Amino acid sequence: MAIPAYDLVVKSSVIVTPSGTISGQIAVRDEKIVGILAPGDDLPAKKTIDAGADPVIPGLIDTHCHFRDPGYTHKEDYYHGTVAAAAGGVTTVFDMPNVNPPTTTADRLKAHLDNAQSKAVVDFGHNASGVVPENIKELADAGATAFKVWMMKDIGRDYPHPPGTSLTNRGVLYRVFEEVAETGLPLYIHPHDHDLYELFVERSQRQWGMDFRSYARALRGGNGVVLNTAIATILEFQRSVGTKLHVLHLSTRGGIRMVADAKAEGRDVTAEANPFALFVTNDWDTIEKKGPYALGFWVPEDDNPAMWGAVKDGTIDVIGSDHGPHTKEEKEVGWDDMYTAPGGSPMIEQYLRLLLTEVNKGNLSLERVVEMCASAPARLTGYDGRKGAIVPGADADLVILDMDHEETLHASHAHYMCGWMPSEDFETKGRPRMTVLRGKVIMEDGNVTAAKGSGRLLRPQR
């Protein structure tokens, strides 16, 4: 009996699956992977892609994006942000709530998701603002993927940490932990002891002035105490309440030790690192050269080996891009006064290339990149089995890599509205050459062909 034609077959001698890297053929029907078959005879298919020896990995899942939409679309919007995602091999995105209005209520969340649906070219969900404990249940019911809280507020500026997203009262934060625990969803925390930060900002400004160097040093005053104290607090809250806690921006030696200890106790704790911290702001020479276009925040050289060690040993579970564009005009202020310039930088289109470069250098395995950028994010967000892995039954989200492609990165080749990026002039080896979303090619050789609004909203199964 003849086998009905598959919608798509992708052949490769290097397919990265949860059970190992294999040679075979990925068969796709009705947007799903229906089988991973042995190499051999050609399978009946409406479309066949023979990748040869080019690796095929699952589409990346970025749990930490700032698309600035609505409210700040002079920086970027959901369409351009997800086009850049597709170009970078990212097939699923979860954006953050520091938009205007912030997603603190169910009605705001619904409006946000409707707006995203009209523009997205990859699949998406949203991490709602968790600063109002009384609203957390209704936000979960309305489709929040997770909840995000910044333990800080802006000093000398009103963005990117506006009211409605930040929380410095620890009593209220504890109530947030309790309410989020009831939903079963993850709570993402940007750890930051704001009182200590104010102290170190004052000291840094007095000693070094207002420029980007002073700003970089302020957060790391007291050998990381601003971050470590906050991490200790939220880990203790997690121990007390049992919330599913995801620690963002893990990059200090002390914070890494605390998270590793919590994991060793079997607690529901995961952690994230960011590409800018791994490749840009962990080198003071780069900060001196790129100034406000690098920051973000500085990772001192003494912390860098621990951060990379945590990436390699699994203490850090997820790589989230923390993609956060601002205009050149907004950033330029930071050469003289970084305290009024916004932090953040565009990264979603380049971070896979940077990681593949490390694979080519022998510093990371491709399997570890897939774990941090696809498999672990799928588990974190509740889509394990549907996203983030090449397995039968999963969405056919695939990326075909060209591991030999060498390129000097330039913003002029990227899809960002803002026209710049912190990885400008970086030398890379390896790139995504094709992105497939639910069985349809949406990017080839940097050309994104997906229609505006063709992305699909993911609703958590609770």
pLDDT averaged per 10 residues in sequence order, the chain, 462 residues: 89 97 98 96 94 98 98 98 98 98 98 98 98 98 98 86 91 98 98 97 97 97 97 98 98 98 98 98 97 96 96 98 98 97 97 98 98 98 97 98 98 97 98 98 98 96 70
CA 280, 286, 290, 292 torsion: positive or negative?
positive
Contacting residues for 439 by C-beta, under 8 A, at least 6 apart: 7, 8, 28, 29, 30, 31, 32, 396
User: Residue 330 has what pLDDT?
Assistant: 97
CB of 455 closer than 8 Å to CB of 122: yes
The full set of domains in the chain, from first to last, is 75-381 (3.20.20.140)
Phi-psi region of 60 (alpha: psi -120 to 50; beta: other; left: phi over 0): beta
Side-chain-side CA neighbours of 62 within 13 Å: the count stands at: 30
Nearest to 78 by CA among 376, 419, 348: 348
Find residue 148's DSSP bridge partners.
129, 188
- Model pTM greater than 0.95? yes
User: Residue 72 has what pLDDT?
Assistant: 97
3: buried, middle or exposed (CB in 10 Å: 19+, 13-18, 0-12)? exposed
- Dig out the tokens for 70 from the structure: 């609505």
Burial 405-429 (b: 16+ CB within 10 A, else e): beeebebeebbbbbebbbbeebebb
Nearest to 203 by CA among 185, 223, 217: 217
CB of 227 closer than 8 Å to CB of 252: yes
Q: Between 221-241 and 170-183, two packed helices, what is the crossing angle to 10 degrees?
A: 50
User: Residue 154 has what pLDDT?
Assistant: 84
Placement of tokens 């709570």 in the chain: 187
Q: Between 304-313 and 253-264, two packed helices, what is the crossing angle to 10 degrees?
A: 30
User: Residue 1 has what pLDDT?
Assistant: 63
